[in-house]
Amino acid sequence: MKHQDLLLSKASSLLLIVDFQERLARAMSQKDQVEDRIIRLVEIAHQLHVPCFVTEQYSKGLGSTTPDLARVLTNCECYQPIEKLHFSCFGSPEFNTVMKNYSSRSNLIVTGIETHVCVLQTVHDALMNNYAVYTVADASTSRSVIDYKYGLKRMRDMGAHIVTFEMVVFEWLRQAGTPEFKTIHKFIV
């Protein structure tokens, strides 16, 4: 039996931050820790040339991306929040257009809020669109711990890989001692 490589590669990855918005984030469990992980992932992705995308669910009512995250995202060449009304990012025509521009990349790394709603429905649709999906457990959250926990469980049952911040970073790097590792190391510790 031939096995495919299940480790992430920076060349095949896309990073998606789902709806980490001001008014919504305030109500989230572990908000500060999750935002810290997302910010560090964005900084590392930028250093490794992994495209990053951010969505905003009904920004008129829920506000914009949190200021600290938005500041870091402005360094990314492809930063432009994608407005959406559907819970799944794939319900946005603009999101689908952006994704088509990166059709050579097959690994979608998903972070954001809420784990059991927008993240889960996006993961479902990404799997239906033949992406290998990696949900970052410590860079996602919900208002309640039980919704978070069962959101992750359901995504795993659907076929998504549940990973952590460090798993993503070290799989992108693959080895220590390189110039990339030395540049990235400060974002890990």
Is 1's pLDDT higher than 50?
Answer: no
Question: How far is 172 from 7, CA to CA, in rounded Å?
Answer: 8
Question: How far is 62 from 161, CA to CA, in rounded Å?
Answer: 29
Nearest alpha-carbon partner for 138 in 100, 168, 164:
164
Establish if 4 belongs to a structural domain.
Answer: no
Q: Domain containing 114 — which CATH number?
A: 3.40.50.850
Establish if 183 belongs to a structural domain.
Answer: yes
User: What's the predicted TM-score (pTM) here?
Assistant: 0.93
Q: Which domain holds residue 86?
A: 15-188
Nearest alpha-carbon partner for 29 in 128, 151, 186:
151
Q: Which residues are catalytic?
A: 19, 84, 118
Question: Model confidence at 11, in pLDDT bands (50, 70, 90)?
Answer: very high
Establish if 6 belongs to a structural domain.
Answer: no
DSSP string covering 13-80: EEEEEE--BHHHHTTSTTHHHHHHHHHHHHHHHHHTT--EEEEEESHHHH-SB-HHHHHHHTTSTT--
- pLDDT confidence of residue 2: 47
List the structure tokens of 167.
């798993």
Establish if 3 belongs to a structural domain.
Answer: no
Establish if 7 belongs to a structural domain.
Answer: no
Question: How far is 25 from 19, CA to CA, in rounded Å?
Answer: 9
Give pLDDT tens digits for 109-138. Answer: 999 999 999 999 999 999 999 999 999 999
Nearest alpha-carbon partner for 37 in 155, 149, 171, 169:
169
Count of domains in the chain?
1
| Residue range 155-172: mean pLDDT, rounded | 97
Establish if 10 belongs to a structural domain.
Answer: no
